[in-house]
Amino acid sequence: MAAEQPTATTRPRPGTGSAAGDATAVAHPNIALVKYWGKRDEQLVLPWTDSLSMTLDVFPTTTRVRLDPGAGEDTVTLDGTPLEGEPRRRVTAFLDLVRERAGSPLRAVVDTRNTVPTGAGLASSASGFAALATAAGAAYGLGLDATGLSRLARRGSGSASRSVFGGFAIWHAGQPDRGGDPDLGSYAEPVPVPVAALDPALVVAVVDAGPKAVSSREAMRRTVATSPLYRPWAASSQADLTEMQEALRRADLDAVGEVAERNALGMHATMLAARPAVRYLSAATVTVLDAVLELRRAGVSAWATMDAGPNVKVLCRRSEADRVAGVVREAVRGGSVHIAGPGPGARLLDAAA
Ligand code: ADP
Ligand code: DP6
Ligand code: CO
C-alpha cells in the first residue's frame, strides 16, 4: 500500500492562498523511528546514515512567503515575532539558495506559525523547513516535484526532507563514494507500509515545552567530532534500518517498536559520550520511560523514542492509544499528552477564493 496522499488540514486564510509571488504551505513534524544524527557535509546537509520516520497528523506549521519588490532585506516572523540571530540567518540563507536557483533578486516577507513547541525536540525544524521549502519554492516559481522539494527542504534542516511526505518516509543519505552530484542522491521518499494492519500511534508526552539549550545542529556536530560511540552507532543504525523496513512490511508493531527504542537510546548514548556531553534526557523523561516499561510488563505494546529534547513519543497501537495516554498522563503530571497518527505531506494551500 502506498503512503497516504496529502490531505487538507488547514483551510486557506483569506488573502493567503498560493499564487505566483505569494504562497502559503502547511507541513507537519515527523518523528524518526531510525534516527538521523550526524552530518558528513554541513554545507549541503548530507547525513552519515539513512533514516526513517512517521509524519504526524498533529502540530502543523503554516508558512506564507510573499515576494516584496520594494524590500532591501527579508522580513521573517515566527508566531508573530520577528526572528533574530541564528534562527533568522537560517531562514535568510535558505531563501538565498532559493533565489539563486530562481535567478531572482527579490526579498521576501515570511510569516510562519508553529503549533508545535519550537526547539523542544518535537521536530519544529522539520515542519518549519518543509513548509518554508514548499511555500518559497512556489512563490519563487521553482517548479519542483516532491523529490526536488525534499532535497531543498533538507538544506534548511535535515529532518525536513522527510516531512515533505506523509505517512512513513525514508531519507537516503546518498552515496558519498560513488562520485556524481552528492546533493542529488540525498532525498526522502515514501515507504509503503500496511498502515491499517500496523495501526500505529505515537503518544507524545510533552514534559518540557521550553527550547533546548543546545540545538540539534550543534549537538550532532559535537557528537560526530568527539564521541567514541558515534561510529559504532552509525554502523548499527544501518542494520536497524534494514530490520525496521522488514518489520514495517510485515506490520509487526513490536518489532518496529523494539528497533525504534534501541536506535533512539543508542543515539542518546552517542551524545552522552560526546565531550563535553550533551544530555537531553531529564528526570521527567526517565519517569515516562519507567511508565512505558510498566505498560509492556502489563502486556501493552508500547515503545519509547526521544529526539533532541526531553520529550517522549510512545509508539503503540491506535486501538490502545487512549490507555497508553492515560498511563503516560499520570507519569508526566503537569505536562501535556497528545495522540498522533500518520499525517499528510507538505502541501500548498489553494489560492484564496
Ligand atoms: P526541533 O527539535 O524543534 O526541531 P532544532 O534545534 O532542530 O529543534 O531546530 C529549532 C530551530 O528550527 C529554531 O531555532 C529555528 O531556527 C528553526 N525553526 C523552527 N520552526 C521554524 C519555522 N516555522 N520556520 C523557520 N525556522 C524554524
Ligand atoms: C534527533 O533535522 O533538527 O530529531 O539538520 O541540523 O537541522 P539539522 O538537524 P535536525 O535533526 C533531527 C535529529 C533528530 C532525529 C531525526 O529527526 O531523525
Ligand atoms: Co530539528
Angle at 299 between CA 296 and CA 305, to 5 degrees: 30
The whole-model pTM stands at 0.95
324: left (phi over 0), alpha (psi -120 to 50) or beta: alpha
For the CA of 117, the closest atom of ligand 1 is: 3
Q: Say how many Å lie between the CA of residue 228 and the centre of ligand 1.
A: 28
How far, in Å, is the centroid of ligand 2 from the Cα of 158? 6
Q: Give ∠ CA 237-242-244 in degrees, rounded to 5.
A: 85
Q: Please tell me the number of the ligand nearest to residue 131's CA.
A: 1
- Residue ranges around ligand 1 (CB below 6 Å): 61, 78, 87, 90-91, 112, 114, 118-126, 128, 132, 157, 215-216, 307-309
**What's the pLDDT at 178?**
66
Give DSSP secondary structure letters for 181-232.
-HHHH--EEE----HHHH-EEEEEEES--SPPSS-HHHHHHHHHHH-TTHHH
Q: Which domains does the chain have, with CATH numbers?
A: 18-194 (3.30.230.10), 195-340 (3.30.70.890)
Confidence of residue 5 (pLDDT cuts 50, 70, 90): very low
Q: Which residues of 81-116 are buried (b: 16+ CB within 10 A; e: fewer)?
A: eebeeeebebbbebbeebbeebebebbbbbbbbbeb
Quote the cell numbers at residue 172: 537516503
Nearest CA owner, ligand 2 atom 8: 157
- Asked whether the predicted pLDDT for residue 11 surpasses 70, the reply is no
Q: Are 74 and 108 in contact (CB under 8 A)?
A: yes
Hey, is 346 helix, strand or coil?
coil
Query: Residue 42: left (phi > 0), alpha (psi -120 to 50), or beta?
Result: alpha
pLDDT(323) > 50? yes
Q: Which residues line ligand 2 (CB under 6 A)?
A: 32, 35-37, 45, 51, 125, 157-159, 216-217, 307-308
Question: How many other CB atoms are there within 10 angstroms of residue 231's CB atom?
Answer: 13
Rounded distance, CA 284 to CA 277, Å?
19
Mean pLDDT across 19-40: 96
**Rounded distance from Cα 153 to ligand 1 centre (Å):** 13
Q: How far apart are CA 319 and CA 322, in angstroms?
A: 8
- Find the mean pLDDT for residues 163-174: 98
Neighbours of 201 (CB within 10 A): 25
Least confident of 75-89, 120-134, 290-304, 339-353: 339-353
Q: Which helix (H) or strand (E) holds 318?
A: none
Q: Which residue's CA lies nearest to atom 10 of ligand 1?
A: 119
Query: Can you give the pLDDT at residue 180?
Result: 82
